[in-house]
């Protein structure tokens, strides 16, 4: 008995490979998330998979788990400290600043992106060390309409996929005027709690991080904690109320969550998160908010901005939790089955013509017999099979078989493309 040879290499722990047919679902989800943003004037941006470590430690925040525990870092031969990107916003803002997009006079700069991100997590369903996100950022304008626009675009993306059981959590984190007083009140409260040394250090760096601590031992002690909603200045209150009114007018339901701070330090004012109750502990499927001070944190000018990132992996899990099946386009519409060498060459030409005419077409390669070739045709999901042997070619026809109904009949070689296109409508 022999065993098939298997590669000694496997994907690194906490990562995954996307292969057909699942990969088609992921592509469809990415497209659905990006489509509303593109219609709203957001242009595509692509950034490197790694950046200077300082970009994330300054922007994302030195007190965050992302920076302190989860970044993959490396040192170049020249001694430069780099990190695989753990999130997208800091990279996109860096790219916009580097290209001077903010100096064109056409603000806000609207950008969307898609890619893989990396965090050293304890692997579990919905939480991987390599994950996929689609994001959108509006850079350079402070306007509640932009905050509402981005939230509505995300809601529309989820709805277009058929998701229904997601919830939008909403909060305001204040700004430079009201945040300091709240920070001081929060620190006074937290210092009186029974917390471990790491959490106590976090209180001094960014006490809002403690509100985001998911441990029951911490959450249990937060009863009566001061809330930012009670400390907002008049400007932040008015801004937040406008965002809520705009969402309500657009038919977007939301829940006020006074403890929502998200896992990044750069957020100001509007903060939001999408959760899906069908995913267990990893319930967040996406989120974002306003980050008016991030540009200054990474050495740029004042550029008030807002954005979001939606998890492709988590969205796929949410679709499966709701039993939603997307209507994915067939990878192959026509599958050619040649019988003999002359038919191989003839049908290869036909397949090429079909593809050039916009029809997804494939064929049996490697000299498969009729039985195996037809099995491949059925497995391909094709609607039609094109079958040809010497007798068919001598008569100038091929047999067109409907793989759904089983009906089969001859079609003149020169009319195949037109016939197939007509029947696929």
Domain regions of the chain by residue span: 22-178+232-322, 334-424
> Would you state the pLDDT for residue 144?
98
- 262 near 208, Cβ under 8 Å? no
Pairing of strands 334-338, 384-388: parallel
Q: Rounded to whole angstroms, how far apart are CA atoms 275 and 285? A: 6
pLDDT at 104: 87
Band (pLDDT 50/70/90 cuts) for residue 236 is: very high
Two tokens, residue 317: 């899990």
The answer on whether 98 is annotated among ligand-binding residues is: no
pLDDT at 205: 81
Please provide the CATH number assigned to the domain covering 334-424: 3.40.50.800
| Model pTM above 0.85 | yes
State percent of the chain over pLDDT 90. Answer: 68
Question: What does 297-330 look like in DSSP terms, one character per residue?
Answer: HTT-----EEEEEEEHHHHHHHHHHHT----PPP
Q: In 3-state terms, the chain is what percent helix, strand and coil (to 5)?
A: 40, 20, 40
Mean pLDDT check: name the lowest of 36-40, 84-88, 194-198.
194-198
Other C-beta atoms lying within 10 Å of the C-beta of residue 175? 20
Residue 2: pLDDT over 60: no
Check residue 126 and report its DSSP letter.
T
Residue 188 has pLDDT above 80, yes or no: yes
Segment 106-115 mean pLDDT: 96
**pLDDT bucket at 425, cuts 50 / 70 / 90:** confident
- Does the annotation place 182 within a ligand binding site? no
Residue 35 has pLDDT above 80, yes or no: yes
Q: How close are the terminal C-alpha atoms of the chain, in Å?
A: 50
88 is in an annotated binding site: yes
pLDDT over 70 at 329, yes or no: yes
Q: Is residue 57 predicted with pLDDT exceeding 90?
A: no
80 annotated among ligand-binding-site residues: no
Given pLDDT bands bounded at 50, 70 and 90, which one contains residue 215? Answer: confident
pLDDT given for residue 64 in this prediction: 63
Q: What are phi and psi of 118, to 5 degrees?
A: -135, 125
Whether 112 shows a pLDDT value over 80: the answer reads: yes
Q: What is the pLDDT confidence band of residue 3, given thresholds at 50, 70 and 90? A: low
Q: Each residue of 123-138: pLDDT tens digit?
A: 777 678 999 999 999 9
Q: Per-residue DSSP letters for 356-368?
A: HTT--EEE--S--
CA atoms within 13 A on the CB side of 407: 3
What's the chain's length in residues? 425
- Residue 284 belongs to what H/E stretch? strand 284-290
Neighbours of 341 (CB within 10 A): 10
Residue-level pLDDT at 334? 97
Which CATH class, in words, describes the domain spanning 22-178+232-322?
alpha beta
Average of per-residue pLDDT values in the chain: 91
Stretch 7-17: mean pLDDT, rounded? 89
Q: What SS3 class is residue 1?
A: coil
pLDDT for 62: 64
Q: What is the C-alpha to C-alpha distance for residues 168 and 257, in angstroms, rounded to an integer?
A: 9
Q: What distance in Å separates the CA atoms of residue 412 and residue 398, rounded to the nearest whole number?
A: 7
**87 assigned binding-site residue:** yes
316 Cα distance to chain centroid: 10
- Residue 59: band (very low, low, confident or very high) from pLDDT cuts 50, 70, 90: confident
């Amino acid at each position: 008995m022999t065993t098939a040879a298997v590669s000694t290499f496997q994907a690194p722990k906490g990562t995954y490979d996307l292969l057909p047919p699942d990969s088609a679902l992921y592509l469809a989800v990415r497209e659905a998330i990006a489509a509303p943003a593109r219609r709203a004037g957001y242009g595509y941006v692509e950034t490197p998979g790694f950046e200077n470590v300082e970009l994330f430690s300054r922007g994302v925040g030195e007190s965050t788990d992302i920076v302190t525990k989860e970044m993959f870092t490396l040192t170049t031969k020249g001694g430069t400290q780099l990190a695989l990107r753990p999130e997208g916003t800091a990279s996109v803002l860096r790219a916009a600043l580097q290209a001077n997009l903010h100096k064109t006079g056409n603000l806000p700069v609207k950008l969307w992106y898609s890619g893989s991100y990396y965090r050293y997590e304890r692997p579990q369903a919905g939480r991987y060390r390599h994950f996929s996100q689609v994001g959108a950022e509006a850079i350079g304008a402070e306007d509640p309409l932009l905050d509402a626009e981005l939230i509505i675009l995300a809601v529309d993306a989820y709805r277009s996929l058929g998701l229904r059981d997601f919830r939008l959590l909403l909060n305001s984190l204040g700004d430079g005027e009201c945040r300091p007083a709240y920070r001081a009140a929060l620190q006074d409260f937290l210092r009186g709690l029974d917390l471990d040394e790491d959490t106590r250090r976090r209180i001094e760096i960014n006490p809002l991080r403690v509100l985001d601590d998911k441990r029951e031992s911490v959450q249990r002690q937060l009863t009566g904690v001061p809330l930012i909603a009670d400390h907002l200045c008049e400007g932040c209150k008015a801004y937040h109320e406008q965002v809520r009114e705009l969402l309500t007018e657009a038919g977007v339901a939301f829940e006020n969550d006074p403890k929502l701070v998200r896992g990044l330090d750069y957020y100001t004012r509007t903060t939001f998160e999408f959760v899906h109750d069908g995913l267990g502990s990893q319930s967040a499927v996406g989120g974002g908010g306003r980050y008016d001070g991030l540009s200054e944190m990474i050495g740029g000018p004042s550029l008030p901005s807002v954005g979001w990132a939606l998890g492709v992996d988590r969205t796929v899990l949410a679709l499966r939790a709701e039993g939603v099946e997307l209507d994915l386009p067939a990878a192959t519409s026509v599958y050619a089955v040649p019988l003999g060498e002359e038919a191989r060459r003839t049908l290869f030409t036909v397949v090429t013509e079909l593809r050039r005419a916009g029809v997804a077409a494939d064929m049996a390669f490697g000299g498969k017999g009729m039985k195996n070739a037809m099995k491949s045709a059925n497995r391909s999901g094709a609607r039609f099979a094109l079958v040809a042997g010497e007798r068919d070619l001598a008569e100038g026809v091929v047999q067109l078989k409907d793989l759904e109904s089983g009906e089969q009949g001859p079609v003149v070689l020169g009319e195949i493309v037109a016939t197939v296109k007509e029947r696929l409508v």
